[in-house]
Structure 1
Amino acid sequence: MVPPTLPLPSAHMPRKKSPHPASGPPGSPRGARRGRLTLPAGLSAGLGYDAVGMSADHGKRVMDRLPRIGCVFACDEHWWWIVPAGSHIGLVWPAVTSYAVGAFVGSPSGPRTARTSRNPRLIHRPEGDSPYTPPIPLYFMACHIAGVMPCWSVTE
């Protein structure tokens, strides 16, 4: 018996939704927009990139302690650290962090004030040509700040 063949995609077939919708992540305010953090010119992201977010207070503590830091963006009181794509695989990032696959981050909702901005801005540019913060030291630091034990698996 010959197995059935699958039809080829065509204009008449429904398309799958993009993995990066325009609306915010689940639980974000209705109407929250998502945009991708844009790396500065001259930095190579050959491994792809994701972002790890945390509060500015936690971000300042991390920045003071990590020996090597890649691109860091700030949007209001939230900081985003650029890490290689897939840095969430096999790890349980602590609740004090947000992990954004593809570095698609939500814009804050509510009115803009002198202290708020809707566009993330680059607050740290690395000295070299790599945009990445090493994810394992960042993960351990985030766990330390959260007061939780690091947790990972070798199988997914």
Structure 2
Amino acid sequence: MPARHGLRLLSRLPGNGCVFADSDWWWWLVPAGSDADLRWPLPACYAPGGYVPDRQPRLMRRPGTTSPYTPPIPLYLMVCQLTGTAPAWTVPDLGSRI
């Protein structure tokens, strides 16, 4: 997510999961497959197999549990709200739901 949205998202999400940041981007670690049937709105970018780049990002939040992941559904809903986008997903064999 672009850095301009980082603090706002961080303050409104549950306190678990790793969050990294640099001056341009913030990264929330989510479980693999968190893009399944979801359309993450721009300017957010879901990066399957992604990694936090080696350009000195800061650890903004340590996980509150033993899992390093942020719950993807609350994050997705907050990103949608922040971007003014209606949540949308597909249901297997039924197609798109808005």
TM-score by length of 2: 0.84
1:142 aligns with 2:89: no
Distance 1:62 1:86 in 2: 21
Q: 1:21 is matched with which residue?
A: none
Can you list the C-alpha shifts for 1:102-133, whole angstroms capped at 9, x where unaligned?
223556xxxxxxxxxx2323221012211010
8 Å contact from structure 1 (residues 72, 81) kept in 2: yes
Q: 2:28 is matched with which residue?
A: 81
8 Å contact from structure 2 (residues 20, 52) kept in 1: no
Can you list the C-alpha shifts for 1:7-54, whole angstroms capped at 9, x where unaligned?
xxxxxxxxxxxxxxxxxxxxxxxxxxxxxxxxxxxxxxxxxxxxxxx0
Q: For structure 2, which runs of at least 5 residues remain unmatched after alignment? A: 94-98
Q: 1:71 is matched with which residue?
A: 18
1:120 aligns with 2:67: no
8 Å contact from structure 2 (residues 16, 65) kept in 1: no
CA RMSD of aligned residues (A): 1.8
The one-letter code of the counterpart of 1:64 is: S
Q: 1:41 is matched with which residue?
A: none
TM-score by length of 1: 0.55
Q: How many residues align?
A: 93
Q: For structure 1, which runs of at least 5 residues remain unmatched after alignment? A: 1-53, 108-117
Q: Name which structure has the greater RCO, CA cutoff 8 Å, separation 6+.
A: 2
8 Å contact from structure 1 (residues 72, 82) kept in 2: yes
